[in-house]
Structure 1
Amino acid sequence: MKRITPLIKLIPCMALGLTALAGMAAPSWAGNSVYLRSTAGAPWGVNTNETAMDRVFGAGQWSDARYETTNVASLLSPNTSFIYMEGSDKNADELETFLTANKAAIELWVSSGGSLLLNAAPNEGDGMDLGFGGVSLTYALYTDRASAVNASHPIFVGPFTPTGTSWTGTSFGHATVSGGGILPIIKNSDNNDTVLAEKTVGSGHVLFGGMTTNNFHSPTTEAANLRANIISYASKFAAPTVVVNSVVINPAKPQTNSSVTAVVSATGPAGVKLTYSYQWKKNGVDLPGETGRTLDLGKPGAGDRDDSISVEVRAIAGLATSAPVTSASVTVVNASPVANSLSISPTRPNTNSILTATATATDPDGDAIRFVYVWMKNGVKINGEDGSTLDLSKPGNGDNGDSISVLIKARDYSAASAPLTSDSVAIGNNGPSITSLSVTPTAPGTNDLLTATATAVDPDGDAIHFVYVWYKNGVKINGEENATLDLSKPGNGDSGDQITVLVKARDYSAASTPWTSSPVTVSGVFAPAINARRSPSPSGGVS
């Protein structure tokens, strides 16, 4: 492990317990800036830190105090605006003891507006917790080559110049700092570890360092100016003012499955882009993980009907963070149902069909759902038809060729879905229906002429014609497709045969259900007219 040999031998001295300081008289500070180290002696026996303090504040215009003897209450009072706490070399354990004993008071003093330079390049111990939300000093991690993270940072600009932007040393630092959201200022050029960083805490500011005294740094002039600039910047730092002026949640009446967005108005330093942190709350309690500008109320647990939703916002400008501002609450209102699907059956109706609308819907709040129906013919509302079915046989509801659709809304107790319209169905031709069928004569002879008499109706008023098929003993008689059947024709019927006729009524495109007549039985008795027709003529023919 690399060590730096102290320039003088340190003389141990007795440390006075902090609890014994309560009754001590408050010291009279010179000015309002304090340099604080241990009674163990100046780091490496040199006074380069004191020289830097003189350059910044003037000799006699700052106070030189010790961890072991200082009055903590007076040190951390509003009368002190800047403290340089040094923990390098043999001061490390004393700094750690002081920080541990007074952590809460130090952090309160800073957050109330104090400025603190906290530096330690230890030659003892094993690093330490510097506080302020998890900032750690890691020892021993040595830095021989250091460089500026951002050359435009104020400590590299002045008031003491030149400072340069890169330095060497044996060593430049004994430790690195990390964690707690710090912003790096100086880094180890070889591995990018942070040697000096800063953080705004409330209304105050802290610089965290792991640097040795500047007598170990090169170039010498630049190193001395750098240390003075660090002290000057730390003591004069003023956190930029950032203010959240208003926070409004939009929309003001969200529903269960909607999203809400924080609309923020804030002011900050000119030319600095503001960013924001968000924490959404439900009924006043933080919603874990909900830290974006928008909150999706559709996520389980994010917000249901009647829940109160608010958001806490902070504006951020670089190192500065505004005080938190919480919006006025909005109440989640009843969510409308959502109509999911709609269909009509049958899909090929005729003028006598009854159409049925089948709909599905969901309600985000789990409310009961009912449907409102509006039936339309050729795009025009059919008055009085507001049920789930439509009877096309009812005059005016639909005729052959008409296009029928239905519009629905799903409703809960107070809200309705967006309307949903079905696909249209076209009313097709309605076939005729046979109403009666008979065959005469009912007891024919073998020479009789049978006649089928049918009646039918067509719902569409179309012209009707009939199709006939005659049967003998249940077998079709080929070629006999008229309304009459001549039994004298060979093969059409003899004594004892049973004759029936099957009839269909047809319009221009559709046919009825077929009807079959009651059978008639052919007898052997000849009707006189038929016998006369069959009397032998003198020539031997049939007259």
Structure 2
Amino acid sequence: MIPSHRGRLIGLILFLLVLIWFSTRDGEEVSDNLHGRGDIQRKAAASAKIASPINERERSGFSPSTPIGNNPPVVKSIRLLPIPVSAGEVVRAEVITEDKDGDFVQLTYEWQVNGKPISGNDLDTLSGDQVHSADTILVFVTPSDPNSKGATRVSPLTTVLNRSPEIVSLPPSTDENGKYTYQIVAKDPDLDSLSYILLKGPPGMEVHPTTGLVQWVAAPVSESQSHVGLEVNDGKGGKAVQQFTLHITATK
């Protein structure tokens, strides 16, 4: 009986030891599993924190590679100075621009005189030797900034002032040795070429169209034929007229 009781006791002890061993092993696995899940959760949370700013930017439509929009510059106004423009004067373009981004604005100029482009001049001025009376002048202006080019704008058409010529000579009223000669002297402030016209005079009187020399073989004339009218014309609408009376009486 005693050996049988001892055997059962030993078996019970062995059973308890096996039970304890299994319990310890299961606990370690549970602990490991719990620790493993914790690590995964912590790593996931850290990844979420790192990814969060990117996700926020993506949700807002922003990324570092997205370019910021540029507003092209605009020409607000152009005017040509001086006012009025006279022949031989330097013409300057006064331009007002706007750039909403505050960028530096560069301007390109293209001049036209009488509808013809002036090559080789992209400055804001037109040389006086290219400015003649009655010319029509305009300029095209194109603005640009470091990122874009704006729309081209054209100035109002400007017509160069045409000043009339002036006759500065005085005509003789009588003939000399049966011949009447008179050299017309005229000045044009715009340096235009002048032409000379006989408006009225006695029969046989002539005036040279380019030199202005008046010639006539004196002869008795009636009072109505003794009136002389001369015109100097610059061909651009400017003119000067001179009138006088010859003191030669027709023989009855």
TM (norm. structure 2) is: 0.43
**Which one has more relative contact order, counting CA pairs under 8 Å at least 6 apart?**
2
TM (norm. structure 1) is: 0.22
Structure in which a larger fraction of residues adopt helix: 2
Structure in which a larger fraction of residues adopt strand: 1
